[in-house]
Structure 1
Amino acid sequence: MRKALRYGVSAGLAAPLVMAAGFWLVWLSPWTYDRPPALPEVSEGPHQVFVYGTLRHASVRWIVYGRAGSPSPAKLKGYARNDLDLSRAKGASVDGLLLTVDRQELQQLDRYERLGIRYSRERVELADGQQAWVYQRLDD
């Protein structure tokens, strides 16, 4: 009984560490993403980025680029959200957040979204007329 309890406690303590290490390796480490060479260089900024998924959460932004920031609510008209992607859809709109980031933070967002591998970064016009970047899934 004591042995089983000890293994249970050890597993309970080890699981979050293993998960954190895996998250770091996949999303933040320098070893698992090579920016495709064909992508244009990122200008100094500031850059406006419309986010509609996991990046709406302050904790995710903090992990990805080191701060939660002060995002403002934003709406993208003419698009519908489809799981992890957006598609053009007349009369539809997607609620999200507008982030203001610098060059390095945009590069960290590009890494998180696997720019050129999993997502592209496109310019869109938001409902209020502002221009912003948005990440859209690439075709498999």
Structure 2
Amino acid sequence: MDVFIKNGKVIEVSEEEAKEIRNQGKPVTKIAKNMTQEELEGFKKERYRKFIKPIMEYNQEQLQDKRNAERKKDEKVMESKKTLSFEYGIQKAGDGYKVVKTLGNFKSHEEAQQVMIDLVTGKRTDTEVINQHSGGDEQ
């Protein structure tokens, strides 16, 4: 895709359309050869106003849109981390160590034991336990 100015607006065109548009115009170098210094300065200012500035503004808009999309994506990730919070830890296991995942804090050993049984038997998922126990919403 290429970007061109048409009727004062930035448009995106295919490569085929871009070739066709390029073949219709005269090269700037041929036009500028016959100009006086004043005409050349005016031409440069007009070219900047009509062509370069709109493309630069278009690029800035595209970059801002991309930044906003990335910011929203980051916000969604952070929000999901808030609702699905858990901890990892290391515990001594015999002659070695194991990595453990804490899904929530429980009021009693019995409650934690019941959750573990529910997880092992498939009655509940990690996500269900995390959602229920991460925000102080213990059973």
Q: Give the TM-score of the pair, scaled to structure 1.
A: 0.33
Which is greater in Rg?
2
Q: Give the TM-score of the pair, scaled to structure 2.
A: 0.33
| Structure number with higher relative contact order (C-alpha < 8 Å, ≥ 6 residues apart) | 1
More strand by share: 1
